[in-house]
Structure 1
Amino acid sequence: MRLSRLSRTTLAIVAGAILVIVYVPLGVVLVNSFSTSTSLSWPPPGFTLEWWQRAFQSAGAMEAVGTSVFVAIIATAIALVLGTLISFALQRFDFFGRHTVNLLVILPIALPGIITGIALNNFFRTIMGVPLSIWTVVIAHATFCIVTVFNNVIARLRRTGTKLEEASADLGAGVWTTFRLVTFPQLRSALLAGGLLAFALSFDEIIVTTFTAGSGVTTLPIFILNNMFRPNQAPIVSVIAVVLVLVSIIPIWLAQRLSGDEQQRR
Structure 2
Amino acid sequence: MRLSRPSRVLLGGITAVILAIVYLPLLVVLLNSFSTSQNLTWPIPGFTLEWWGKAFQSQGALDAVLTSVQIALLSTTVALVLGTLISLGLSRFDFFGRDAVSLLVILPIALPGIITGLALNNGFRTILGVQLSLMTVVIAHATFCIVTVFNNVIARLRRLGTNFEDASADLGAGLWTTFRLVTFPQLRSALLAGGLLAFALSFDEIIVTTFTAGAGVTTLPIWILNNLFRPNQAPVVNVIAVVLVLVSIIPIYVAQKIAGAEKVTR
Q: Using the TM superposition, give the Cα deviation of residue 4 of structure 1 relative to its aligned residue in structure 2, in angstroms.
A: 2.0
RMSD over aligned Cα atoms = 0.8
Q: Using the TM superposition, give the Cα deviation of residue 74 of structure 1 relative to its aligned residue in structure 2, in angstroms.
A: 0.2
What residue identity is the alignment partner of 1:53? G
Q: How big is each residue's C-alpha offset from its partner over 1:195-217, in whole Å with a ceiling of 9 and x where there is no partner?
A: 00000000000000000001110
Tell me the distance in 2 between the aligned counterparts of 1:106 and 1:176.
27
What residue identity is the alignment partner of 2:155? A
What residue identity is the alignment partner of 1:158? R
Mapping of 1:77-96 within 5 angstroms?
77-96=77-96
Aligned to 1:235: 235
Aligned to 1:145: 145
Tell me the distance in 1 between the aligned counterparts of 2:201 and 2:61.
19
Q: Using the TM superposition, give the Cα deviation of residue 165 of structure 1 relative to its aligned residue in structure 2, in angstroms.
A: 1.2
Tell me the distance in 2 between the aligned counterparts of 1:103 and 1:47.
51
What residue identity is the alignment partner of 2:87? S
Q: Secondary structure of the residue that 1:54 maps to in structure 2?
A: helix
Tell me the distance in 2 between the aligned counterparts of 1:7 and 1:116.
41
Q: Does 1:213 find its partner at 2:213?
A: yes
Q: Using the TM superposition, give the Cα deviation of residue 150 of structure 1 relative to its aligned residue in structure 2, in angstroms.
A: 0.2
Aligned to 1:53: 53
Tell me the distance in 2 between the aligned counterparts of 1:249 and 1:239.
16
Tell me the distance in 2 between the aligned counterparts of 1:6 and 1:92.
49
Q: Secondary structure of the residue that 1:217 maps to in structure 2?
A: coil
Aligned to 1:100: 100
Aligned to 2:157: 157
Tell me the distance in 1 between the aligned counterparts of 2:3 and 2:104.
39
Q: How big is each residue's C-alpha offset from its partner over 1:144-200, in whole Å with a ceiling of 9 and x where there is no partner?
A: 000000000000000000101111222232322221221111100000000000000
Mapping of 1:107-256 within 5 angstroms?
107-256=107-256
Range that drifts further, 166-175 or 70-79: 166-175
Tell me the distance in 1 between the aligned counterparts of 2:43 and 2:101.
53
Q: Does 1:69 find its partner at 2:69?
A: yes
Tell me the distance in 1 between the aligned counterparts of 2:49 and 2:40.
14
Q: TM-score, normalised by structure 1?
A: 0.99
Q: Using the TM superposition, give the Cα deviation of residue 244 of structure 1 relative to its aligned residue in structure 2, in angstroms.
A: 0.1
Aligned length: 266
Q: Does 1:10 find its partner at 2:5?
A: no
What residue identity is the alignment partner of 1:230? R
Tell me the distance in 1 between the aligned counterparts of 2:96 and 2:29.
51
Tell me the distance in 2 between the aligned counterparts of 1:211 and 1:227.
18
Tell me the distance in 1 between the aligned counterparts of 2:175 and 2:104.
29
Q: TM-score, normalised by structure 2?
A: 0.99
Tell me the distance in 2 between the aligned counterparts of 1:8 and 1:110.
33
Tell me the distance in 1 between the aligned counterparts of 2:167 and 2:161.
12
Q: Using the TM superposition, give the Cα deviation of residue 52 of structure 1 relative to its aligned residue in structure 2, in angstroms.
A: 0.4
